[in-house]
Structure 1
């Protein structure tokens, strides 16, 4: 921001605007080297945005039951999860409203087809659960989640080269322990809005390297919450998982779905 109040965003940086007066969320999403700058805008500008937004919590004068409000607030999010479920089982069409996608390069340890099958199995199961489950319960059902994935997480009993390697690689890459299954499942609660991504597709890298490209719709955001997905990629048998890079969706369209 210059002395005249003009804001310039360079490179792949992001501008997050917080109008709440609470800086906790701003501090959480600030990247390394990010700056926090306060400035004034016309009151009418803030009021206009708030008048069009759906509040996070139901206002006391809005006449909805708890369930009706939950449906109203979650409708778009639940529909989005349902679309993800469909994309898991088939290549999506080219969408003009999705000009860019985030690409995560994954090097599978074994056969790419087997890796893709494992990844799609887990994603299909958790998206199905996210649409239908009651996230107000203390625990979510795991009946549809593949046994090998249940056994790979923290406090699980599975042993073997795949599970052991997944845990070790995730710890080495992130410095954190693998995910406990219930914590992982609750990340897919549509109301929680914890995920910063939607599944788009999985393709073979066009360069013949054997890598796979996982494509995500992040609404153009280069920085987003995705640790639950990173753990899944390692648990499926990835040797390496690169950080996401936002590119034009034409790059995805040029590769074959696997």
Structure 2
């Protein structure tokens, strides 16, 4: 390491230390300010007990609660003369502008507490209706989809009973015919967003020996050569 490099690192370390010290000082100042605020809220609470009159308006409490997140809820409760757990319901909700993720329309939404999630994306009523219709149609078509899935599972099970396929070292089935990547067929490995619909590159010698068997994706052209370790003969079951 050169002297120049060492000097540069020392300067950067000094900058880090200075920034850390500023943060430390700021945290101390924040703690002091919060303590002073808490003390004043406690005093307002005592005045409320002595006079029977509210010392902190709901409007002002609402502003403190929503616009000053560093002020504790318990401090606001002291000023209002109520438990911290009752503060959020006392000050009320906050309305804010969100964006519909489907049509980008501005939507008014409600945040119910300071710690509650403020969703920046809220569907408008029109898009909610469209989504509800889509979900209803999805549910109506469920029996048909389930029947199709069952038929595909049975077709695949029947295909496996027929034999004539290899099993790779990671126990994936590789059929000699083209296969579509889904829950039931093994094809070219994953990569990017391609669905990897693959076909085997014709080579009967390779298929018989299990060495050099290759599949090519008909979409992206990616070629994969799986490590095949077990062959299941046609209608005779698995062989070593």
TM-score band w.r.t. shorter chain: under 0.3
For CA contacts below 8 A with separation 6 or more, give which structure has more relative contact order: 1
Q: Comparing both structures, which one devotes a greater share of its residues to helix? A: 2
Q: Comparing both structures, which one devotes a greater share of its residues to strand? A: 2
TM-score scaled by structure 1? 0.19
Asked which structure has the greater CA Rg, the reply is: 2
